[in-house]
Amino acid sequence: MSDLIRQRRANRSRFLEMLYRCSEEQATEYVDGYEIADELAIERVDAERIVRYLEDHGFAAKTGRTGMVVRITAAGIDEVERRLAPEDDE
């Protein structure tokens, strides 16, 4: 697998995990996707691709027509928790 593909997968995973943390720690479920991207040192154009990917898989939903306000979905929460859970918890 190429380094570019590895990096894209890692960025999608990091973005979803950050979205999960934000939704659990903040009073609102809505998060500025560009702020997440900035915090993770991901370019905005890549963040937009990531959000489209997460939307296509049902892990995130974008709100509004402009900007990048996103929220994690129940499927996204389940995906993050599945990835982070110890194997013997299943």
Q: Where are the domains of the chain?
A: 3-89
Query: Strands across the sheet with 31-32, in order?
Result: 31-32, 69-72, 60-63
If DSSP codes are grouped into helix, strand and coil, which group holds residue 19?
A: helix
Q: CA-CA distance, 7 to 31, in Å (whole number)?
A: 23
pTM for this predicted structure: 0.88
Residue range 37-45: mean pLDDT, rounded: 96
Q: Which CATH number fits domain 3-89: 1.10.287.130, 1.10.10.10, 1.10.3470.10, 3.40.50.2000?
A: 1.10.10.10
> Is pLDDT at 90 greater than 80 in this prediction?
no
- 35: pLDDT strictly greater than 80: yes
- Give mean pLDDT, residues 23-41: 90
